[in-house]
């Protein structure tokens, strides 16, 4: 499964989603599990040697902005169409987290946010 390039993402224009490693988190601003996951996602977003974090939501711009301000989200959240949201969700549950490497989905987690150890096992640090 490929992630970037298959659909339009509004609000992540400065983020390169086709190269490198990142966690893309499918979320809904009204979802209690998504709201609860922000603390862990913020921690991962600040982690050294870990993939970057971006959120994907089909909510409106105002809902996304309010969600980011209220929960002090420190990673970008892009807006996608409702159709793309459901296509990415498939039969899963939100938050749905994709580990993406060079635009290819390597692993998917539903509801549970992967910990640092899981990410290092799946995506060992490069370089060096």
In-domain check, residue 118: no
In-domain check, residue 47: yes
Domain range enclosing 85: 21-111
In-domain check, residue 125: no
**Total domain count, the chain:** 1
Q: How many CB atoms lie within 10 A of CB 117?
A: 8
What is the rounded distance in angstroms from the CA atom of residue 55 to the CA atom of residue 64? 10
Which pLDDT score, from 0 to 100, does residue 38 have?
98
Surface-to-core class of residue 23, CB atoms within 10 Å of its CB (0-12 exposed, 13-18 middle, 19+ buried): buried
In-domain check, residue 71: yes
Using the predicted structure, report yes or no on whether residue 126 has a pLDDT greater than 60: no
In-domain check, residue 11: no
pTM score, two decimals? 0.89
In-domain check, residue 119: no
Residue % of the chain over a pLDDT of 70: 89
Report helix, strand or coil for 24.
strand
Tell me: the pLDDT tens digits for 50-87?
999 999 999 999 999 999 999 999 999 999 999 999 99
What is the rounded distance in angstroms from the CA atom of residue 48 to the CA atom of residue 78? 23
What is the rounded distance in angstroms from the CA atom of residue 57 to the CA atom of residue 11? 11
In-domain check, residue 5: no
* Cis-peptide, bond into residue 86, ω within 30° of zero: no
* Mean confidence (pLDDT) of the chain: 89
CATH number for the domain spanning 42: value is 3.40.30.10
In-domain check, residue 116: no
């Amino acid at each position: 499964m490929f992630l970037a390039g298959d659909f339009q993402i509004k609000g992540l224009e400065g983020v390169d989603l086709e190269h490198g490693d990142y966690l893309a988190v499918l979320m809904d601003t009204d979802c209690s599990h998504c709201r609860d996951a922000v603390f862990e996602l913020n921690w991962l977003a600040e982690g050294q040697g870990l993939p970057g974090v971006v959120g994907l939501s089909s909510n409106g711009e105002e809902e996304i902005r309010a969600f980011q301000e209220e929960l002090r989200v420190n990673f970008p959240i892009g807006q996608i169409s409702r159709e793309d949201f459901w296509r990415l969700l498939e039969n899963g549950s939100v938050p749905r987290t994709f580990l993406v490497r060079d635009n290819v989905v390597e692993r998917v987690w539903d509801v549970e946010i992967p910990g640092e150890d899981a990410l290092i096992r799946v995506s060992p640090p490069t370089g060096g």
